[in-house]
Amino acid sequence: MSDTILVDGRPVAVGPDQTVAAALLAAGIRSWRTTRKGRPRGLFCGIGVCFDCLVTVNGRGSVRACLVPARPGDVVTTGRPDQEPASAEVPADPSAEVPADALVEESVHGSVGSSVDTPVHHGRRTDG
């Protein structure tokens, strides 16, 4: 029998050295919250930069699921205890979301495979 964590009250198998996000993906759960506009969010960058994968683990809120190890017995909530893990689209905390008009274009310096600055907007390339 495999080790498990509880996600919104439902058991999810975890393997050795898996993060919470990896366990969710392995269970077929691709998104576990939504923006205020209803867009699904889950694992995006996988390295703790984007904050799209926020969950609550053992009562500690705003945890990046891609960074925290999944330990057998952990209790993970995505916001609504009645949420089905298969869909797991839970509204995001509105205070944590940045309004679209507040986003700023930045340049990425030293990108892998790029010798020039590449303009990006909210994690997406804008150079075509």
Could you tell me whether strands 75-77 and 3-7 are parallel, antiparallel, or unpaired per DSSP bridges? parallel
Query: Which residues lie below 8 Å from residue 80, measured CB to CB, with a gap of 6+?
Result: 8, 90
Q: Which of 39, 58, 48, 47 is nearest to 97 (CA)?
A: 39
Domains annotated for the chain, with CATH where assigned, are: 3-96 (3.10.20.440), 98-128 (no CATH)
Classify residue 69 by its DSSP letter. Answer: B
Interval 16-67: pLDDT, tens: 999 999 999 999 999 999 888 989 999 999 999 999 999 999 999 999 999 9
Non-local CB neighbours of 75 within 8 Å, separated by 6+ positions: 5, 6, 57, 58, 59
Query: Is a pLDDT exceeding 50 seen at residue 1?
Result: no
pLDDT at 109: 37
